[in-house]
Structure 1
Amino acid sequence: MHSPTAPQPVSSLWRFSKMHGAGNDFVMLDGVTQPIELTPERARALADRHFGIGADQILLVEAATDTEADFRYRIFNADGSEVEHCGNGARCFVRFVHEQGLSSANPLRAQIRTGIISLYNDPQRGVDVMMGTTRFAPADVGFDHTGLETRDQGDDTLWLLPVPGQAAPVALSLVSISNPHAVQVVDDVKQAPVATVGPFIESHPRFAHKVNAGFMQVIDPHHIKLRVYERGAGETLACGTGACAAVVAGIRRGLLQSPVVVDTRGGSLRIEWDGQALRMSGPAQTVFTGQVDIDALCASLARKEIF
């Protein structure tokens, strides 16, 4: 009589790819062919730019739980928080799935926290992502507008948020694209107070779930420059949903017309919006692949956090 075989311990060695979309960088994990238990602590360790691989977000690809989707992917910010959507990450997701041989389907349907999005991988022009539904009510971004003044511009309602040290309040457009955005127009994005006003808006107590703070400079009706201070990541070189939110806000304000080229610090994106369908096109590139010992990495980060 043979003794039952003892269960094999789950390996702490994870295969990964490092990718970026217009400079917004990601650690990509295949949770389909290897067991991955991604916790906030482990996400922070992977994203750490000194002890870890370094990334704005960690993307975990898993088997879909919705029969209408090909895969599910989850998004963790550098601070370990899990979020609803990431446009640049979506483009990297479809390239990763194809490069890893997980599927050859094109387009792909991806299950995210708030629904299903469709993605098309074009090796020549980049990746097209149908970004889903846009919403504009304060409740859609978890915004408490009690007592705030407003100003109408075009079809948009601007919410006037006082900022310490500034004589005039900031006029914010609120846009939800599965995740929340607050967009302001600035004269010169290079000189915009992203490092100070960005975190103030991102963590303002009026936003129940924090918010992505966008700073948009209009060049002409089909061209903007953009910087975004993202929830849980700080300023990134590009923000896909932030680019979409800025374009939608600009069109509603009467400042822009579709399509719009969005220049970010990491590259350019093309956004199209007809009032209903929202499409983003842009690059997705693999930088390197490797293997990481997640337990050893977490132990290193724990030592760092003693002081």
Structure 2
Amino acid sequence: MTKAVAFTKMHGAGNDYIYVNTLLYSIPDPSEASRQWSRPHFGIGSDGLVLICRPTTADADYRMRIFNADGSEAMMCGNASRCIGKYLYEKGLTTKTSIRLETASGIKVLNLHLNTDDSRRVDSVTVDMLEPRLDVAEQYDGTRTDGTFVSMGNPHFVIFADEVPTTPVLTERGSALEHDKAFPQRCNIEFAVATAPNTFRTRVWERGSGITMACGTGACATAVAAITTGRADRSKPVEIVMDGGTLTIEWRSDNHIYMTGPAAFAFEGTVDLP
């Protein structure tokens, strides 16, 4: 008999995922579930599948696993981690406003900002994204010089342009660059345009998902690239304006990147396992 699974659809600045609480439901083949459920028109439609799990270490409160729309498992997603913070708090799974979330790229601390009029609601979340890395040999061979490589636990290549690419251009260039031989593990691609001091309009081609409305790690990578190339001032927050909304990035004195942005529920339902 096919088993029905309860899911929650959430988005962070338009970056939308299907969330399943694996403390209640087992997903035997999350890669196939992500492929089937993420399909527009034929499934729920999303950028991928996020599993909320028990941690494997006592240092974390919960664990996140994330699968792209093509079924590949990702190491980290900033937007998804913010959504998990809202999910855990508003569904009563925790009363903490500082949550330690285990991911494939380390433990991330989620600091929840509650609504001033209703403390049961989370308005936004700040995520400690840890330290950026600019030279990771196994992820980037250094042969491309038309952008800046930044690892936020997952690989990003940021290209600064004179104008924001149209969707056809983003699709063509993003797809080609994702699979470029310079990136042995494939890569997330960002195209950024400076629109004001410390403000960048950015579009994203996400590894394994294609064009997404926003990318939290991509916003962090864009800010790091802008600062390291002299396009932004590290002493001030950097605003990254994406298709689905704006994320605020800070590169603080502890060398960690802090990302602040919204998280929102879309709808809930049940779906059959593939």
Same fold (TM over 0.5): yes
Q: Post-superposition shift, 1:243?
A: 0.5
1:211 and 1:105 map into 2 onto residues whose CA distance is: 34
Answer with 218-227 or 110-119: which moved more: 218-227
Note if contact 1:220-1:256 (Cα within 8 Å) is conserved in structure 2.
no
Note if contact 1:182-1:214 (Cα within 8 Å) is conserved in structure 2.
yes
The number of residue pairs the alignment matches comes to 263
The answer to whether 1:59 aligns with 2:64 is no
Q: Post-superposition shift, 1:190?
A: 4.3
Deviations 1:215-243 (A, max 9, x none): 00012232110001000000101111000
Which residue in 2 is equivalent to 1:242?
A: 218
User: Identity rate of aligned residues, in percent?
Assistant: 38
Q: Post-superposition shift, 1:205?
A: 2.1
Deviations 1:192-229 (A, max 9, x none): 83111111111112211100000000122321100010
1:293 and 1:67 map into 2 onto residues whose CA distance is: 33
2:206 and 2:258 map into 1 onto residues whose CA distance is: 21
The answer to whether 1:264 aligns with 2:242 is yes
1:127 to 125, 128, 135: 125
Q: Unpaired segments of 5 or more residues in structure 1?
A: 1-8, 149-158, 161-170, 299-307
Instruction: Give me the TM-score of the superposition, normalised by structure 1.
Output: 0.82
Note if contact 1:28-1:96 (Cα within 8 Å) is conserved in structure 2.
no
2:105 and 2:10 map into 1 onto residues whose CA distance is: 24
Which residue in 1 is equivalent to 2:174?
A: 198
Greater C-alpha radius of gyration: 1
Answer with 213-222 or 228-237: which moved more: 213-222
Note if contact 1:109-1:117 (Cα within 8 Å) is conserved in structure 2.
yes
2:61 and 2:27 map into 1 onto residues whose CA distance is: 19
Which segments of structure 1 move beyond 2 Å, counting only runs of 4 or more?
33-39, 190-193
Which residue in 2 is equivalent to 1:287?
A: 266
Which residue in 2 is equivalent to 1:180?
A: 155
Pair 1:190–1:205, CA change in 2 (3 A): closer
CA RMSD of aligned residues (A): 1.6
The answer to whether 1:117 aligns with 2:93 is no
Pair 1:38–1:107, CA change in 2 (3 A): farther
- SS of 1:250's equivalent? helix
- SS of 2:147's equivalent? strand
Deviations 1:117-167 (A, max 9, x none): 000111345111111121011416x1123xx4xxxxxxxxxx42xxxxxxx
